[in-house]
Amino acid sequence: MFLIILLAFYVAWNLGANDVANAMGTSVGSKAITLKQALIIAGVLEFTGAVLFGHQVSQTLSTKIANPVLFTDAPHIFVTGMIAVLLAGGVWLQIATFLGLPVSSSHAIVGAIAGFSWVALGVNAINWSSIERITLAWIVTPIISGAIAVLFYSQIKHWILYESSKNTQLNEWIPWLSVVVVGVFGAIALPSLTQGVTNFLNQQLGLNLPNHDLPIFIGAIATFGLTLYSWQQLEEFGVRSSEFGVQREGVKEGRSRGGVSPPGGKEGIQQINNISPNHLISQSPHLPISPSPHTPHTPHTPHTPPLPNSPTPHSPVERLFARYQLLSACFVAFAHGSNDVGNAIAPVVVIVYINQTNTLPVGELAIPLWILIVGGAGIVTGLAIWGKKVIATIGDRIMSIQPSSGFCAEFATSVTILLASRLGLPVSTSHALVGAVVGIGLLQKPQYLAWQTLQEIAAAWLITVPASAALSAIIFKFMEVF
């Protein structure tokens, strides 16, 4: 059993290095958060999402891909197959991570289960109706996520980013942004998260609280707090921006008149002259900012010229959106943990169940908490050690991302993934996030997108299912022989 747990940890490790990196890539790419902050956020929230919301997807992968009824007379074959699934899924994810390709762990595990089932008992061993349902979800995921991102970003662009008085407009829109962000996430996740607290209050204190009262109360407080905090931050950013402008103008005026130097004499002038906007803004604690438009790009990164009348990367508007993107990054990490932990632990759940009962799972399957914890721990460890390559691909190589566009992409991704988790569908976070980024890129200008990078990603998506299926089949036959 220790070997099985180790294999599950290995798959979760590679899943964290690849899929979790997808989830955090846009935040790191837009400089809303640093890589270190991304690792901490993902570590806490991926683990939380896995433990609290990871049951439904694990259930689907455990009992609805292969047809367990056909393995009734030979449960040991099913166990051997699930071990092959763990090995095949982990190896393929490791290869993709080494190449920096954001593939789908859902594709890898579903393909691996189908692969071993086919060679074990033939084509009828695969539950094709479930495969069709999951495949449809894979196709629809980037479309839905892209549509949500385009709808959201188009409104922000129209009402805030392209307005002459951007700060004033954003100030008026802050309450509505807070309602949307907290409300959507709260409607999907809070009822399940607070169910235990509601039951405790009703049973222990004799209250009669409806199930949705506590989520609504918490959501209202969170919305009010986020609104006040955002107003305060926008005012602070505006003051700093104004002070910087006055300081620069004062230096220019002194030079043109040949007048008095600022404190520090010529050295003071030189120091102020050498201060870049990025350097000044970076003095704000915990707020990494987007690179200057003049920052050199890597050969793979499409250079996105500033849009007409759009805010600069270091403007108060973009800096506040960086705060919102930090929040959306938390939602994506939680959503990803809730959906993709099932990819790592589903085979282990089946193996443990068969070892304990000597029967095959055919109905509802209880997921032990310790297995969810193993999956969550593996995801966090893999992200921390191997996640940098895929983060670079999502964050830098598809298009240049600002906090405002990154926030919309992550918001759309988290909504799509959380809905899929509630439905028990093992969808792809990379599909959702890439779909959202591409949707925003098309809304801005198609030439801003790195089409070569997108072709590489699409090719990796397409090859994942057959590659993992073939690997699983080969490993399964090898294990049968020996």
pLDDT top residue among 247 and 238: 238
Per-position DSSP letters for 86-137, written without gaps between them: HHHHHHHHHHHHHHT----HHHHHHHHHHHHHHHHH-GGGB-HHHHHHHHHH
Q: Counting beta carbons within 10 angstroms of the beta carbon of residue 248, is it exposed (0 to 12), middle (13 to 18) or buried (19 or more)?
A: middle
Out of 156-165, 250-259, 406-415, 432-441, pick the least confident: 250-259
Greatest Cα pair distance in the chain: 95
Q: How confident is the model at residue 362 (pLDDT cuts 50, 70, 90)?
A: low
**Residues 6 or more apart in contact with residue 189 via CB below 8 angstroms:** 53, 334, 418
Q: Which two tokens stand for residue 108?
A: 């890898």
Out of 4-8, 30-34, 394-398, 431-435, pick the least confident: 394-398
377-436 pLDDT per residue, tens? 887 788 777 776 666 665 556 677 788 988 998 889 888 887 887 777 777 777 888 899
140-155 pLDDT per residue, tens? 899 999 999 999 999 9
Q: Are the CB atoms for 38 and 329 separated by under 8 Å?
A: yes
Q: Are the CB atoms for 46 and 334 separated by under 8 Å?
A: yes
Q: Are the CB atoms for 464 and 108 separated by under 8 Å?
A: yes
Vertex 91 angle, CA 88 and 97, to 5°: 135
Q: HSE on the CB side for 42, CA within 13 Å?
A: 32
Q: How many CB atoms lie within 10 A of CB 24?
A: 29
How many helical (H) and strand (E) elements, i.e. helices and strands, does the chain have?
17, 0
Mean pLDDT of 72-80: 85
Q: Which two tokens stand for residue 96?
A: 């993709």
Beta bridge partners of 126: 66
Is it the case that residue 278 has pLDDT exceeding 90?
no
pLDDT top residue among 339 and 242: 339
Instruction: Quote the CA–CA distance of 177 and 271 in Å, as a whole number.
Output: 39
Q: How confident is the model at residue 172 (pLDDT cuts 50, 70, 90)?
A: very high
Helix or strand (DSSP H, E) at 311: none
Q: Which two tokens stand for residue 396?
A: 């830098």
Could you give the percent of the chain with pLDDT greater than 70? 75
**What's the mean per-residue pLDDT of the chain?**
76
347 to each of 44, 59, 479, how far by Cα in Å? 24, 10, 16
Q: How many CB atoms lie within 10 A of CB 269?
A: 16
180-234 pLDDT per residue, tens? 888 887 877 787 778 888 888 888 888 888 888 888 899 999 999 999 999 999 9
pLDDT top residue among 391 and 318: 318
Per-position DSSP letters for 319-351, written without gaps between them: HHHHHHHHHHHHHHHHHHHHHHHHHHHHHHHHH
DSSP code at position 314: T
- pTM comes to 0.73
**Residues 6 or more apart in contact with residue 291 via CB below 8 angstroms:** 31, 278, 313
Q: Measuring CA to CA, which residue among 303, 301, 286, 312 is closest to residue 395?
A: 301
Most confident of 42-51, 312-321, 458-467: 458-467
Q: Can you give the pLDDT at residue 478? A: 92
Q: How confident is the model at residue 39 (pLDDT cuts 50, 70, 90)?
A: confident
| Residue type, position 320, single letter | L
pLDDT top residue among 191 and 169: 169
pLDDT top residue among 138 and 240: 138
